[in-house]
Amino acid sequence: MAQNIPTEQWAQVVEQTGKPVVYKKIPVQKPGPDEVLINIKFSGVCHTDLHAVNGDWPLATKLPLVGGHEGAGVVVARGDLVKDIEIGDHAGVKWINGTCLACDFCQRSDEPLCAKALLSGYTVDGTFQQYCIAKAAHVARIPKECDLEAIAPVLCAGITVYKGLKESGARPGETVAIVGAGGGLGSLACQYAKAMGLRVIAIDGGNEKKEMTAKLGAESYVDFMSSKNVVSDVKAATPDGLGPHAVILVAVNEKPFQQAAEYVRPRGTVVAIGLPAGAYLRAPVFESVIKMITIKGSYVGNRADSAEAIEFFRRGLIKAPYKSIGMSELQKVYDLMHEGKIAGRYVVDTSK
Ligand code: 8ID
Ligand code: ZN
């Protein structure tokens, strides 16, 4: 290990689900043979982190838990088996912290489907601490020219929506509806969709998100809070009135998951990404069949998707808004997120 690594560090710890996070000092871990230790400088706050704090998914978290999975920083130590990443390199800790690399899914580069996947900030400690461990094979390589604070949200939100847009099969010039467009994933989805040559209908609530999504390149906005009929408003927002070719669902609410099948274009694809607790995807069989629609899930991305999403950022194509705050104030971010009051993403600075 390098000499300047402290034995203790600041972290935000979930000690009990459903209770506020606790800001305290905890020990710095040592990386195993196939792991790296990353000095996390900045970490985005994803709604998944709030699901972990609330314990509202049918998947248990580790406890006590350090949340966070959009961590950007500097490699400060590595295990003996690690050869392809150097001390001093910039790297990112993603949701997929490690996988077995040997199962059928890993072999086919569907690593998120690996049954042995370690999940940062959920089944292993994540990035709301100053020093975080991850499997070297899975850490994201971040080019030195990229700003570590601005790139943090790409490490989950960016990768996930980029993958989801690819899964939708939408082609350049076609229209995609982004449901929850004013949130963390949604704001990045607007930018990736635009960079991929797609036309964006943003769906969210309130004027702040309307203005933000317009700046991010959305051509139209449907306000789910004031619209009298979301289905007809979304259809009307497409150039020919037939509905969007794809729908990217990144809201944390069940209702839009039921509505999407109604306004998606015949032959279109609905991609479910958001994970509202206890929600169901429902669609009428008759219309789904005669419209030949596809409804599918999309879950983060593999290592290649991650590298591609980072490359879009490096090229200057992704400039999503974020708000900076000290890591000590993480609970404030969760409170705002719970109320749906965050336009874009919050990024915490682990030194404050
Ligand atoms: O791999 C995955 N599938 C993956 C990866 C990362 C995150 C899934 N997620 C999940 C999270 O766990 C969470 O459930 O995606 C969801 C969205 O995460 P986020 O973008 O970090 O959440 P946010 O910033 O709170 O944004 C949610 C937005 O949805 C809007 C809200 O106003 C907010 O802007 N929204 C809601 I709640 N209801 C809506 C509705 N009916 C709505 N927008 C349109 N219509
Ligand atoms: Zn996330």
What is the pLDDT tens value at each position of the chain, 352 positions in all? 455 899 999 999 999 999 999 999 999 999 999 999 999 999 999 999 999 999 999 999 999 999 999 999 999 999 999 999 999 999 999 999 999 999 999 999 999 999 999 999 999 999 999 999 999 999 999 999 999 999 999 999 999 999 999 999 999 999 999 999 999 999 999 999 999 999 999 999 999 999 999 999 999 999 999 999 999 999 999 999 999 999 999 999 999 999 999 999 999 999 999 999 999 999 999 999 999 999 999 999 999 999 999 999 999 999 989 999 999 999 999 999 999 999 999 999 999 9
For residue 95, report the distance from its CA to the centre of ligand 2, in Å.
Answer: 6
Report whether 272 contacts 256 (CB < 8 A). Answer: no
Phi and psi, residue 18, nearest 5°: 85, 0
For residue 289, report the distance from its CA to the centre of ligand 2, in Å.
Answer: 33
Please confirm whether the linkage preceding 64 is cis (ω < 30° from 0): yes
Closest CA to 334 of 39, 79, 53, 22: 53
Eight-state DSSP code of residue 30: P
For residue 31, report the distance from its CA to the centre of ligand 1, in Å.
Answer: 33
Looking at all shown ligands, the one closest to residue 225's CA atom is 1
Q: Ligand 1: which residues within 6 Å by Cβ?
A: 46-48, 51, 156, 160, 179-180, 182-186, 203-205, 224, 250-253, 255-256, 273-275, 298-300, 337, 340, 342
Q: Supply the pTM of this predicted model.
A: 0.97
- Amino acid residing at 218: A
Atom of ligand 1 nearest to the CA of 298: 3
- Amino acid residing at 96: I
Report whether 188 contacts 320 (CB < 8 A). Answer: yes
For residue 291, report the distance from its CA to the centre of ligand 2, in Å.
Answer: 32
Report whether 203 contacts 180 (CB < 8 A). Answer: yes
